[in-house]
């Protein structure tokens, strides 16, 4: 395991102290970015946002496991195909391991640590543990050249049951991409995840970091050479769950951008300069998430121009600015929709993933602009880094409870939060309280019940309210009530920034 940890006992002690920390920890320092009082304990939210990943673990759980109602699961994953695919994360409220969103989650957790890890203090080690749990799995999934195991579990069969991961009896079918069944988007995202995480472990575990980077280089070459969408070759398996709608060009640009950042090898810079336009560098779609990486690639590549003064990438500053201008209210190009309560709203299904990923890009771009002493010009309107940070803060504050329902959309944070999340393990009795197996379909009686989930999945951020700020808190409503790893991953970086800027870390 890629641990950079000191003793697990210290991590547990820090975790316990975070819940008993005196109130003065939430008191802000006067800081140039946010002179106002913090209405939220961002440090508490940060601790919980990272802890959530332990509730999503698959495989053999370590002795340091802090979400103790979860037990070992999926211990024979991959065995039928003669490969070891034990470990990794369940992406949301079911028991399937989907490689595409898992890789994106890993990339975003890594980016959070790369940009804001220096501010995380005691939480940095927990964030690295969360990344290492994913990278250990991604290394297994990419162990054979020109092959990536991209899914474990039959989603259709899995969804016909409501059972704990510890009880799974649906087929743990294994699906892969290779030369004959390419999957460029999932391969390039996996390369991005391996490259980004190699930067996370570079100082504390150099040999592991080298292994990750070497694998990233190989996986990207495979992604680029054998081009094709995994949604074609594996349509019956991955659609409609994690079908790629945006194509694979965005992942190739994103993967190359991460490899450029991790290797500093001019090969990747040349690749970006040669292929950027055909891969959609100037694309106008402004949704950033597990499927579409265009905006993320623009922001990431703008750093090379803004901070490292790489003139050949100057276009990415204007591409990134176009995105910002489309997002900020009051600019001539603004297209963003907001709910009456002020939440960015883009999608009916799991809108909060769009909120957390956008907020992360805003604070990250603000960081790059600040170091370059630059601003964004939208027609005649000037947008400062301070403005970007304040838009991001407003979104995070809404998520944490500053909204018409006065409800936190992070489980376990604040006085009022979702009680009936769409999540099997959280909604069913634990193995400790109910040792007998819960059969496939008998769990559905819980799905329709109004009783709160017995196990609190601390830190889980749900899909969130609708466009009218309404949230029914119903377990069957997966669009609004299901948490997911890729909702939490970008939030880790933004919360680290906010906690630091208010003197809570």
Of residues 265 and 505, the one with the higher pLDDT is: 265
109 pLDDT higher than 50? yes
The pLDDT of 71-99, averaged and rounded, is 96
**The pLDDT value given to residue 16:** 47
Q: What single-letter DSSP state applies at residue 259?
A: H
Position 25 scores a pLDDT of: 38
Task: Give yes or no for a contact between 473 and 418, defined as CB atoms under 8 angstroms apart.
Answer: yes
Check 44, 249, 482, 500 and give the catalytic one: 482
Strands (E), 128-273: 147-152, 174-178
Res 157 pLDDT > 60:
yes
In which residue are the tokens 């939480």 written? 123
Average pLDDT taken over every residue of the chain: 92
d(CA 167, CA 369): 50
Q: Which two tokens stand for residue 166?
A: 């510890």
Among 3-17, 87-101, 179-193, 198-212, the minimum mean pLDDT is found in 3-17
pLDDT in tens, 33-71: 444 678 899 999 999 999 999 999 999 999 999 999 999
Catalytic residue among 422, 423, 469, 500: 422
What secondary structure letter does DSSP report for 170?
S
By percentage, how much of the chain surpasses pLDDT 70?
Answer: 93
Contact predicate 343/332, CB 8 Å: no
Among 318, 402, 340, 305, residue whose Cα is nearest residue 39 = 402
473: annotated active-site residue: yes
| Predicted pLDDT of residue 36 | 60
Query: Is the pLDDT score of 26 beyond 70?
Result: no
Question: Catalytic: 348?
Answer: no
The answer to whether 276 touches 253, Cβ cutoff 8 Å, is yes
358-401 per-position pLDDT tens digit: 999 999 999 999 999 999 999 999 999 999 999 999 999 999 99
- Give the per-residue pLDDT at 2: 61
Rounded Cα distance, 330 and 385, in Å: 16
Winning range, highest mean pLDDT, from 30-44, 74-88, 274-288: 74-88
pLDDT at 484: 98
For the cut 90, the answer to whether the pLDDT of residue 436 exceeds it is yes
Pairwise CA distance, residues 330 & 328, whole Å: 6
Query: Can 185 be counted among the known catalytic residues?
Result: no
**Residue 147, beta-bridge partner list:** 178
Tell me the C-alpha distance between 367 and 320, whole Å.
Answer: 13
Query: How do residues 283-298 score in pLDDT, each as one tens digit?
Result: 888 899 999 999 999 9
Q: Which one of 77, 224, 473, 500 is the catalytic residue?
A: 473
pLDDT digits (tens, 9 = 90+) for 113-124: 999 999 999 999
> Cα(98)–Cα(367) distance, rounded to whole angstroms?
32
In the chain, the N- to C-terminal Cα span, in Å, equals 27
């Amino acid at each position: 395991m890629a641990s950079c940890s000191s003793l697990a006992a210290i991590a547990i002690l820090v975790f316990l102290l975070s819940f008993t920390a005196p109130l003065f920890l939430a008191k802000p320092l006067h800081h140039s970015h946010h002179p106002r009082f913090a209405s939220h304990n961002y440090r508490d939210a940060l601790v919980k946002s990272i802890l959530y990943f332990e509730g999503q673990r698959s495989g053999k759980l370590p002795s340091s496991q802090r979400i103790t109602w979860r037990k070992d699961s999926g211990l024979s994953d991959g065995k039928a195909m003669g490969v070891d695919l034990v470990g990794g994360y369940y992406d949301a409220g079911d028991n399937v391991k989907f490689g595409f969103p898992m890789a994106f989650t890993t990339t975003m957790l890594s980016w959070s640590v790369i940009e804001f890890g220096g501010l995380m203090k005691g939480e940095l080690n927990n964030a690295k543990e969360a990344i290492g749990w994913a990278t250990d799995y991604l290394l297994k999934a990419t162990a054979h050249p020109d092959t990536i195991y991209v899914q474990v579990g039959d989603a259709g069969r899995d969804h016909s049951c409501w059972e704990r991961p510890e009880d799974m009896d649906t087929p743990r079918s294994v699906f892969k991409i290779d030369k004959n069944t390419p999957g460029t988007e999932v391969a390039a995202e996996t390369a991005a995840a391996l490259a980004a995480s190699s930067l996370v472990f570079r100082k504390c575990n150099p040999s592991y970091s080298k292994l990750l980077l070497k694998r990233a280089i190989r996986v990207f070459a495979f992604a680029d050479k054998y081009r094709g969408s995994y949604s074609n070759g594996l349509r019956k398996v991955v659609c409609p769950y994690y079908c790629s709608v945006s194509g694979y060009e965005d992942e190739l640009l994103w993967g190359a951008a991460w490899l450029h950042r991790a290797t500093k090898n001019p090969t990747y810079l040349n690749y970006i300069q040669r292929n950027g336009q055909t891969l959609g560098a100037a694309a106008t779609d402004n949704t950033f998430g597990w499927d579409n990486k265009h905006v993320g690639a623009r922001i990431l590549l703008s750093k090379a121009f803004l901070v490292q003064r790489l003139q050949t990438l100057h276009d990415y500053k204007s591409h990134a600015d176009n995105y910002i201008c489309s997002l900020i209210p009051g600019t001539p190009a603004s297209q963003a929709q907001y709910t009456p309560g002020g939440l960015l709203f883009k999608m009916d299904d799991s809108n909060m993933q769009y909120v957390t990923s956008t907020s992360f890009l805003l604070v990250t771009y603000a960081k790059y602009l600040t170091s370059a002493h630059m601003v964004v010009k939208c027609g005649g309107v000037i947008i400062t880094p301070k403005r970007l940070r304040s838009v991001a803060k407003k979104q995070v504050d809404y998520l944490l409870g500053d909204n018409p329902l006065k409800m936190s959309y992070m489980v376990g944070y604040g006085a009022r939060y979702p009680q009936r999340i769409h999540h099997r393990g959280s909604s069913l009795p634990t193995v400790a309280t109910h040792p007998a197996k819960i059969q496939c379909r008998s769990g559905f009686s819980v799905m329709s019940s109004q009783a709160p989930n017995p196990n609190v999945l601390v830190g889980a951020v749900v899909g969130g309210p609708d466009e009218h700020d309404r949230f029914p808190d119903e377990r069957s409503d997966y669009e609004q009530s299901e948490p997911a790893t890729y909702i939490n991953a970008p939030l880790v970086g933004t919360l680290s920034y906010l906690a630091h800027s208010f003197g809570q870390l």
